[in-house]
């Protein structure tokens, strides 16, 4: 049914991703032509710490950070039962919500699948990124609770 599914994941919290696995697999495997685009966005300094990189006076090497993020993203993707030839990986940097919306446009996403908010954190109904994606996306959004 869907051909281009965008799955934004926050690699700093793998439990976050756990919530969406069954839903992504179900949508991705309805047909054998659906492509699943996994995206992680590197936002600001706290993200570097999540990658195991220490704070320092010098700006961290962007290429190294991108490679670390890509490898963490790949580890998370391994948990999904989706044929490798239908998976694409994206690492962006900037504001997660803006990048999610930008990549959604560029891949012509017809579905975005996100978790509503970080587990264990009292967010009212939707986290800030989830709320912006629901409000501004041009395609359907599946919010997993
Ligand atoms: P919270 O405010 O509770 O952390 P968010 O709105 O940030 O919740 O997260 C909801 C969803 O937004 C996540 O499940 C994920 O799909 C997406 N998201 C959040 N941060 C990122 C990120 N850095 N990169 C990619 N996707 C993200």
Percent of the chain with pLDDT over 70: 85
> In whole angstroms, what is the distance from residue 4 CA to residue 84 CA?
15
- DSSP code at position 44: S
Which of 8, 69, 98, 116 is the pocket-test mutation for ligand 1 (most atoms within 8 Å of CB)?
8
Amino acid 121: pLDDT? 67
Mean pLDDT of all residues in 30-53: 80
Q: How far is the centre of ligand 1, averaged over its atoms, from the C-alpha of 127 (Å)?
A: 7
Mean pLDDT of all residues in 98-117: 96
pLDDT at 59 exceeding the cut of 90:
no
> For residue 92, what are its two tokens?
């962006």
Out of 3-7, 94-98, 120-124, least confident range: 120-124
Query: Could you tell me which residues come within 8 angstroms of residue 116 by beta carbon, excluding any fewer than 6 positions away?
Result: 123, 125, 126, 127, 130, 143, 144, 145
Q: Is the CB of 84 under 6 A from ligand 1?
A: no
What confidence tier does 52 reach under pLDDT thresholds 50, 70, 90? low
Amino acid 124: pLDDT? 65
Short-list 61, 95, 89, CA closest to 76 = 89
| Comparison of pLDDT for 143 and 61, the residue scoring more | 143
Amino acid 86: pLDDT? 98
| Comparison of pLDDT for 46 and 111, the residue scoring more | 111
pLDDT at 127 exceeding the cut of 70:
yes
> In whole angstroms, what is the distance from residue 85 CA to residue 38 CA?
13
Q: What is the CA radius of gyration of the chain?
A: 15
Q: Which atom of ligand 1 lies at the shortest distance from residue 41's CA?
A: 24
């Amino acid at each position: 049914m869907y051909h281009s599914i965008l799955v934004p994941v926050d690699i700093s919290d793998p439990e976050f991703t756990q919530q969406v696995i069954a839903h992504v697999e179900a949508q991705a495997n309805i047909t054998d032509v659906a492509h699943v685009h996994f995206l992680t966005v590197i936002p600001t300094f706290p993200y570097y710490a999540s990658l195991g990189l220490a704070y320092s006076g010098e700006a961290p090497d962007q290429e190294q950070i991108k490679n670390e993020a890509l490898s963490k993203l790949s580890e998370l993707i391994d948990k999904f039962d989706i044929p490798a030839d239908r998976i694409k990986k994206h690492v962006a940097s900037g504001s997660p919500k803006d990048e999610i919306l930008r990549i959604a446009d560029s891949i012509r996403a017809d579905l975005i699948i996100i978790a509503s908010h970080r587990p264990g954190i009292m967010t009212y109904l939707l986290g800030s990124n989830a709320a912006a994606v629901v409000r501004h996306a041009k395609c359907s959004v599946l919010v997993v609770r």
